[in-house]
Structures are given as C-alpha cells and as structure tokens.
Amino acid sequence: MKNIISVKNISLEYKEKDLLKKLKGKKTTIGIKNISFEVEEGEIFSIIGLNGAGKTSTLKCILGLMKPDSGSIEVFGKDGLNGRDFEMVGYLPEISYYPKSMKLNELMKYYGELYNIPKGELNNKIDSVIEKLGLTERKKDRLEKFSKGMLQKVGIAQAILNTPKLLFLDEPMSGLDPLARELVIQIILELKSQGTTIFFNTHILEDVASIADKVAIINNGELIEILDMKKTMREEKDFLLSDYFIKKVTT
C-alpha cells in the first residue's frame, strides 16, 4: 500500500507570549521535536499523548494550519495540502465553533458549498449524513438548541459530508455518551471499509485499541513509539494499551 501522509523530521517551537517569562530568558516553548512517521492509504492512524504532548500541533502541521520550523510533510504524494485537495479532506477540530443562530441544514449546506459538492447531490448527502448521526429530527433546529454532545455530532457530520479520502479527527469522542461513541466508532469503521484514511487524536485509549491500525505515542513533543496494533494484540494476548501508555510516558 502507498503512503498517503509522510512526515519527516518536523519540529515546531512556540514563541513565548508571557512578558515575565521572556524577561527571564524563556523565549520559546517546544511544541514538537523531530517527528517522523508515515500513514498508509486506507488505514486508521491514531496519535495518543498527555495534554500538551504535541498531538494537535502535529495534526495542524499536516493540514497546513501551522507551519513547522523544520522538516517536510507530504500528503497525497506531494508537498502539503493546497487548492482542491481540501475537497477530498474532512476535518473535525478539537474545539468547533458554529453560529448558534444557524439551523443544522443551513450549516450543512454551507459546508457542502465549501467542499464544492454538486447542488444536485448536496441535499441527499446532507440527509444521509445527519441520519447516520441520529440528527434527522433536528435538521431544521437552530444550533443554539443543541447540547454539547449534539454539537460534536454536527462537527463529525460536516467532516464526513464530502465522503473524504482523508479524514482528520481531533478528539472525536469529546462530549459523547457511550451510545454516541459506539455510533461514531461504527461510522469510522464504515469509512475505512470504503477506503478512507483516518487520522485521529484522542484521550480515550479503549477506543484507540479497538479500531486503530497503528498508534503513535507522543510525549513532551517527541515521538516515543509507533505500535502496529494488530501485530501487538496478536503477539501479546493480555496487552492493555492504557497500561503500556502509562509506562511509556512515566519512565
């Protein structure tokens, strides 16, 4: 299988904004340091780590939302994402903001236009996606009436509206109850079966262990290890990702 993402030796530093810290000589903070990995087409690749480990920074660098200070990133076999590439990409940010006065179907039409989905297909795609996420009855409701968990479903709906070739999910299970989490897992697996490559960050390690093909462990901005989950689970019958992760980030 060919690589759909190739990350080579990327590093990123954040400039210190706190004046007192600047005066003390601390001018930068390391975000990520010399990270390299590859994601094969059609696989589910997950990054796990503690808060501030560099998960979201890595994802944003791949998307082109942040520019690394050094290193290179290839997506779809070329340098970074640009232009019409984004019509093939879905993205759920860690924190989503939507105009509360908008109705769900209006928001979906807006995203459909951004994805350049043909008008003759858009309504059917919207109906299909919101049905998958159990939001059909709320189609004409304003987002101000939605709970946190429902807004998370809205974020997932917009991210998969274009049936993306490459899907980025930053903490997709945030705010979801157990039933909704299971629903999202099934949607992710369905997309994988259709050939979508999925790149996601999460703190919920049991979800990672159940669906990820590969898991990258990041700590303090550095890549510690990449696990092939199928191989690991086959070779170590009593393997628990949570125990393994804690050992890796505390030793």
Number of structural domains in the chain? 1
φ, ψ at 164 (rounded to 5°): -65, 150
pLDDT digits (tens, 9 = 90+) for 10-62: 999 887 665 555 545 555 666 899 999 999 999 999 999 988 899 999 999 99
What pLDDT is attached to residue 18? 55
> What pLDDT score was predicted for residue 25?
52
State the pLDDT at residue 190. 96
The pLDDT of residue 185 is: 94
Q: In terms of residue numbers, what domain contains 211?
A: 3-250
Residue-level pLDDT at 28: 62
Helix or strand holding residue 143 (H, E): none
DSSP letter at 16 equals P
**What is the model's pLDDT at position 20?**
55
Reported pTM: 0.92
Burial of 39 (0-12, 13-18, 19+ CB in 10 A): buried
Which residue numbers in the chain have pLDDT < 50?
Answer: 23
With a CB cutoff of 8 Å and minimum separation 6, the contacts of 96 are 151, 152, 154, 155
CATH number of the domain encompassing residue 32: 3.40.50.300
What CA dihedral angle connects 190, 194, 196 and 201, to 10 degrees?
A: 10
